[in-house]
Amino acid sequence: FQDIAIIPILALLPLLAFAPQSSSKDISDSIIASWPVWQQVGVSVAVIAAIIAGGKYVSAPLFRYIAQTHMREIFTIFALFLVVAIALVMQSIGLSPALGTFLAGVVLAESEFRHELEADIEPFKGLLLGLFFITVGASINFELLTDEFTTVIALVALLIVVKACILFALAITFNISKKQRLLFALALAQGGEFAFVLLSVTTTLSILTPEQTSLVTLVVAVSMLVAPLLLMAYEQLQKRTSNSAPEFDKPEQISSAKHVIIAGYGRFGQIMGRLLHAQGYEITVLDHSPSQIELLRRFGNTVFYGDAARQELLEAAGAHTAQMLIVAIDDADKTLEIIKLAHKNYPQLKIVARAIDRRHAYQLLNLKVDAFNRETVDSAINLAVDALELLGNNKEDAQRAGKLFRDHDRAAVLQLAELWGDDASYGVAVRQRMEDLKQVLQQDKQAQSDLNTCDSGDCEDGLTELADRPKKPDDSHLE
């Protein structure tokens, strides 16, 4: 929004010019310099509107015609021509060429070929941006900084404080979350690079004296230098805040669960909680994320702020009477800590856990949880089944392949858990299980292909023989 605001600012700057027309080259070169002010403003607005409309309704067909030539160079040439032409038109009516180039960028951004244009002008962008900042740096008067150090620092502080207050008020007005308001205000509190563009125009129009322009340029540059320091200070403040002990709900404020306690109510825990609640089970939810608690309570969910690894909070949630504990948090170490606590103090609880990955699944098996599932396995298998269907496999074959893969993967986890920690044996077993899986799927695919090619009576004897043949362990997939 700050960058776009330069358009009306540049359009209004000529109205602030105090110098006579003859002292301003841009104004004296304007073809409408002798017109009344209100007519100049009207013409300026009309030209800007015409440029925007032309970019939408004229340049788009031209770009489509150029695309038919399949010559990328013409894209670059036409884009540069459009920028220069619009800049000259703006200068001819007494407005800043910078405003024209900015409008040209807006016009090109509306093109359906904007991505190709962006790639073509990328080299120019980096070169000109570097040149722009070199020019700005070269224009800084360091002698003025030493002579007016106190004044410059005071103005920088004033700029940052005033702008931060305005931004903070805007954050409140537009309901930005409390945690983000300070970050929003500090991140934009410095002067922007378009300030240098405005300063060059104010000098041309004699709105500011050269001394004033040098001072403001220095203030903006120093504020940009201070900006990273502000963000570093904010980061340190956040670390201190996050390291402080959280204000959990008091045990007496937590309602006791009759059936199920869910530790962690993110995207994983919510799905389980909604299903269990819909089936009539009473649940108590504990979550240690303040932002998640605030969000869930806003939508009417009963959620308590607390760390399930603390026994007094788990006790208050009803661990002594509940039937099940579901650990659905996304921290593997914290999950293990909660499970060990529950095993030690509440042996009657059935424990269901969310496994982050295969390694975490092995750890859960060693703790003898009642049930677990890796968080991405089912969704990945289901999507792979859909992919098989899109690749031409019928629905039944794709679903059967998915079931075979799921069963084989589950069995592999149970088997490999015993070898976890012995790298040599584990590596050999993993490779063997992968080869077994490939063989099982290929055999199943071949068996189904043979069955599909049989006519109603042609393969009866073969099917009877297959059904009567004693099953070996590797033939279980043929059922």
Q: What is the spatial order of strands in the sheet that 324-327 belongs to?
A: 303-305, 283-287, 260-263, 324-327, 350-355, 371-374
Structural domain count of the chain: 3
Q: Both tokens of residue 310? A: 């603390």
Same domain, 366 and 387: no
Whether 248 maps to a domain, the answer reads no
Distance CA 358, CA 351 (A): 18
Q: Residues 13, 201: contact at Cβ < 8 Å?
A: yes
Same domain, 316 and 390: no
Q: Which residues contact 204 (CB under 8 A, 6 or more apart)?
A: 24, 25, 26, 96
Q: Both tokens of residue 238? A: 């956040």
Q: Phi/psi of residue 458, each to 5°? A: -65, -35
Domain span holding position 468: 381-478
Look up the CATH number of the domain holding residue 260. Answer: 3.40.50.720
Whether 12 maps to a domain, the answer reads yes
Q: Which residues contact 289 (CB under 8 A, 6 or more apart)?
A: 266
Whether 432 maps to a domain, the answer reads yes
Q: Residues 207, 13: contact at Cβ < 8 Å?
A: yes
Same domain, 218 and 76: yes
Q: Is the pTM of this model over 0.85?
A: no
- Among the candidates 184, 211, 239, a domain finishes at 239
Buried b / exposed e over 189-202, threshold 16 CB at 10 Å, is: bbbbbbbbbbbbbb
pLDDT on residue 414: 80
Whether 295 maps to a domain, the answer reads yes
Whether 245 maps to a domain, the answer reads no
Whether 249 maps to a domain, the answer reads no
Q: Both tokens of residue 222? A: 């120093």
Same domain, 199 and 54: yes
Q: Both tokens of residue 154? A: 């005071």
For the chain, which residues score pLDDT lower than 50? 21-28, 245, 455, 466, 469-479
Same domain, 296 and 387: no
Distance CA 143, CA 419 (A): 72
Distance CA 471, CA 479 (A): 9
Whether 393 maps to a domain, the answer reads yes
Same domain, 176 and 52: yes
Return the amino acid letter for 137: G
Same domain, 223 and 301: no
CA atoms within 13 A on the CB side of 416: 22
Same domain, 182 and 285: no
Same domain, 298 and 405: no
Same domain, 371 and 387: no
3-class DSSP state of 210: helix
- Among the candidates 346, 375, 404, a domain finishes at 375
Same domain, 43 and 84: yes
Same domain, 188 and 278: no
Q: Which residues contact 303 (CB under 8 A, 6 or more apart)?
A: 265, 285, 286, 287, 292, 293, 296, 297
Distance CA 116, CA 110 (A): 12
Distance CA 323, CA 146 (A): 74
Task: Quote the distance between the C-alpha of residue 77 and its chain's center.
Answer: 35
- Among the candidates 334, 350, 375, a domain finishes at 375
Whether 204 maps to a domain, the answer reads yes
Task: Quote the distance between the C-alpha of residue 136 and its chain's center.
Answer: 33
